[in-house]
Amino acid sequence: MLTLMEMAQKGQEIPLFTLVAQNEQMNVQLLMERVATGRIVIPYNSHHKPQKPQGFGLGLSTKVSASIGLAADEDSLTDELFKVGEAIRAGTNAIMDLSTAGNMDEARRTIIKRVPLPLGTLPVYQAFAEAVRTKGSALALEPDDFFKVMERQAADGVDFMALHSALHSGLFKTAKEDKRVLNLVSRGGSLLMGWMLYHNKENFLYTMFDRILEIAKKYEVTLSLADAMRPGAGADSLCRSQAEELVILGELVKRSRQAGVQIMIKGPGHTPPNQIATTVKLEKTSMPRCSVFCLRSGIDGCSSRI
């Protein structure tokens, strides 16, 4: 079965492309050309098929994603569903379920049924949470445990997944030399780094990236590769470890496209206003023609998270 990227590459004009193009007031052939090259992604899991599909990327309207999720076992799914409803009413274009506690499978499946928009997750959150619950420690996680969670989420209909696949042991030395004001602020990245240091092993999301691609291709999951080394303070913006990770992300983008898997990049972290343009150019240079999923736009007195 062809993926959306492969269909676009073969010139197969399907109703989904026509609908997204009409909603964006873009010529459908131009949209297909950009899907084919990866400049536009349409998160659209074959097991979900959101009623209101969205395109992210070049020439399309800016999209907003709202994050919800259970953070403690006593948290109420009813409250999270209320947040989903409010986000949809406010005009969000996507929902991310970032649950780390409670019955995460039930929560996700219920949310998917209620959401007519693309739904995203960060599967490593559930994988580590389940390791704590069933094995007593996040450090007891096995790579197969993660892939079971990833496939379970994909089978449930998750449209896009954030993964810290570019984090690898070579970045540890660079990060120490950077002498950052804030070390690692990425939650998923911190969990993975702790696992790597404890086991003295490489990041399985990096070494087993082909397995990630297999699952993504099987269910038409759009990958959203996250930058674990993103700066958490304006003073750390454009440090070496951030730049080196961007190069690795660029390599993974190429592998994803070769596999026919849609991909975008999540980032880039806290950035001083005068470095926003430079940071975006660096991302686009490292990852040609790739959509960027920006984190919480906004400027305060010191930095901007774009």
* pLDDT tens-digit readout, 11-60: 999 999 999 999 999 999 999 999 999 999 999 999 999 999 999 999 99
Q: How far apart are CA 227 and CA 51, in angstroms?
A: 30
State whether residue 150 is helix, strand or coil. Answer: helix
Beta strands in 85-147 (DSSP E): 94-97, 119-121
Does 33 reside within a domain? Answer: no
Q: How far apart are CA 1 and CA 28, in angstroms?
A: 22
C-beta of residue 112 within 8 angstroms of C-beta of residue 157: yes
Does 32 reside within a domain? Answer: no
The DSSP 8-state label assigned to residue 37 in this structure reads H
Reported as half-sphere exposure (CB side, CA atoms, 13 A), residue 157 has a value of 20
For 73, phi then psi, to 5°, come to -60, -30
Give 206's contacts (C-beta < 8 A, 6+ positions apart). Answer: 165, 166, 167, 168, 248
The pLDDT, as a whole number, for residue 304 is 33
Report the sign of the C-alpha dihedral through residues 26, 32, 35, 39, in that order. negative
C-beta of residue 215 within 8 angstroms of C-beta of residue 161: no
For the domain that residue 191 is a member of, what is the CATH number? 3.20.20.540
Does 135 reside within a domain? Answer: yes
Q: How far apart are CA 236 and CA 69, in angstroms?
A: 29
Largest CA distance in the chain: 54
Does 2 reside within a domain? Answer: no
Q: Which residue numbers in the chain have pLDDT < 50?
A: 297-306
Look-up of token digits 């602020």: 185
Does 35 reside within a domain? Answer: no
C-beta of residue 92 within 8 angstroms of C-beta of residue 85: no
Does 23 reside within a domain? Answer: no
Report the sign of the C-alpha dihedral through residues 226, 247, 288, 268, in that order. positive
Q: How far apart are CA 206 and CA 213, in angstroms?
A: 11
- List beta partners, residue 271: 304
Q: What's the number of domains the chain is made of?
A: 1
Does 119 reside within a domain? Answer: yes
The pLDDT, as a whole number, for residue 165 is 97
Q: How far apart are CA 160 and CA 120, in angstroms?
A: 5
- Going by their DSSP bridges, the two strands 94-97 and 65-68 should be labelled as parallel
Domain range holding 297? 62-305
Does 43 reside within a domain? Answer: no
The pLDDT, as a whole number, for residue 188 is 92
